[in-house]
Homo-oligomer: A and B are copies of this chain.
């Protein structure tokens, strides 16, 4: 840290929302297409403007901290220069992702996609919805978002199991997954994308889910083998509610789009105006902490920054 901190922010960000900036901080708008080497060389604290900024990192000798506006940092993996700390926006998206997850579970169980199809035909066609009460819901990935999902699920009377990357009191480890999948009726996938999670839900593990199970993905698309999931949903064996897929955007000719058992939203679960404000507030607070020499929040563990696809 230093008395004067040059901080790069996405040029698209409403900078007035950063007020009040910490004393000594000099905000610099960064547009990856036009930013000069001279400006880049001064930046010590960077809020990166998305994937387009990856090519900039090697031109930033003063860089010490990357503070993302996203909770996931997989897009940075393999690109972070030595000695640069990465902090994410953990917490910022707990509310919108938990709300999306509950919306997705309830919409599918309550038959909203079928009702929507009937509505488009102006057809009053009754059907039998399912209750969430007493269903077995497995939350796979139990960080702050997982806890936010559980908080909102609790009064529905679902039976909840927690599975995390590593087992700990009250949370099963991934090694318990094979044992729990056969009784899972709703699988909520919230895992971050990392070497240890890419393709975790492969064809074999998806095959352990019972017929009719609902796979909900609000984490990262590549945690699930999309081809295997597509086969199971296409066969009517599984149902899926997906805010993230692999690849994104989902190609327009992907059969998933047209499957009655698939509910797809275009990676917008976290994209609320309120979450954007929280992310900007977090970034400003982190800059204040850095400038003041205080401990920063949300520093991500190194396993999340390892290159996913080693050459």
Contact = CB atoms under 8 A, between A and B. Distances in A.
A99 to B, nearest CB: 6
Interface in A247-265: 248-250, 252-254, 257-258, 262-265
Contacts of A253: 122
Q: Categorize the interface residue count of chain A.
A: 35 or more
16 contacts: A95-B131, A107-B112, A112-B265, A115-B264, A119-B257, A119-B263, A119-B264, A123-B252, A125-B266, A126-B266, A126-B267, A129-B271, A129-B272, A131-B275, A133-B274, A155-B155
Nearest to A154: B155
Interface string A97-129: 001101100110111110110111011111111
Nearest to A156: B152
A273 interface: yes
Q: How many copies of the polypeptide does the oligomer hold?
A: 2
A266 B128 contact: no
Nearest to A250: B124
A268 interface: yes
Contacts of A262: 119
Given A119-B264, A266-B115, A128 B250 contact: no
B116 A110 contact: no
A174 B288 CA distance: 50
Contacts of A119: 257, 262-264
Contacts of A254: 122
A3 interface: no
